[in-house]
Amino acid sequence: MDEFARVLRAWRERVQPEQVGLPPGTGRRARGLRREELAMLAGVSVDYLVRLEQGRATNPSAQLLGALARALRLTDDERDHLYRVGGVAAATPSSVPRHVGPGVQRIVDRLGDVPVSVYSAAHDILLWNPLWAALLGDPSSLSGLRRNLVWLVFTETSTAVTHTTAGEEEFRADLVADLRSAVGRYPDDAPLRNLVDRLLAESAEFAARWAQAHVALHRSSRKTVRTRTVGDITVDCDVLGAPGSGDLRIVVYTAVPGSADAAKLDLLRVAGLQDLSHPRPEPTAASEDHRESTRPR
């Protein structure tokens, strides 16, 4: 068994189901997570995970390794080791941090009463809780650039999330200014450079805003989300820095306590979680190397 297969199995066996929000169950013979549970958390098929653990699958993608690192709650050092033995270069200080460590994972796990997600400095969505998916749609259904918030805002038309006229202008201006700030901090990050180049080519509005050279950080906004289950919900969006986790942002949606919007969010928590309880179809082997996502926040 090669080093990649060895560490992958060892790290799976040390994670307890309750650490990742799964019921402990009874009569468990396997130590730690079952293969089926890790496969579900990482968004890969059980068969592919078995082949990885047996050393029969080669050249896993960076996206897949990132998903496994998050599902296994790996530390930064462990994540880097997984990348190296998987044949992928680990992130450098000049790269946008994209690894969600165990501490931030626990914060998301605990904040089940509100929609919450984790984004990179490039506005790629990395992690979300079930209520986020119930409100905005499951980000795991997206791939590639469609997992990036800025790309979605400037290249796709969405009627699900709306702002006031002034709020929309501020939101779009802040996104471009925030992305420019990230380029300044991570000038050698190839995916970030590719994102900006594609946006400049595809969106005249983005190009015009980029030319203004405004630099800022996006921190808060108010928006209305249209849902099929409970109708429109107006929420406040706050972007929080993740302590000790590089440049990750924790994005939290809240409604005014006692308001009709808060009551709708409570209803969505029940109805949405029931909808999300249906198992997703297993991805094909060809799709397993493309697993990252984004929904507008």
- The reply to whether 182 and 207 lie within a common domain is yes
Q: Number of structural domains, the chain?
A: 2
Q: pLDDT tens string for the chain (297 positions)?
A: 488 888 999 899 988 888 887 877 666 676 789 899 999 999 889 999 999 998 888 788 888 998 999 899 888 778 888 888 888 876 667 788 888 888 888 889 888 899 999 999 999 999 999 999 999 988 888 888 999 999 999 998 877 888 888 889 999 999 999 999 888 888 889 999 999 999 999 999 999 999 987 887 778 889 999 998 899 999 999 999 876 667 899 999 999 999 999 999 999 988 864 544 344 444 443 444 434 334 456
- The reply to whether 234 and 109 lie within a common domain is yes
Last residue of a domain, one of 49, 70, 90: 90
Q: Which amino acid is at 296?
A: P
Inter-residue contact 143 to 290 (CB < 8 Å): yes
- Which residues, at least 6 apart from 15, have a Cβ–Cβ distance to it below 8 Å? 32, 33, 38, 72, 73
Structure tokens at 231: 């109708």
Cross-strand partners of 117: 128, 251
Full-model pTM: 0.69
Which residue range forms the structural domain that includes residue 154?
Answer: 102-276
Inter-residue contact 75 to 104 (CB < 8 Å): no
pLDDT at 281: 44
- The reply to whether 125 and 23 lie within a common domain is no
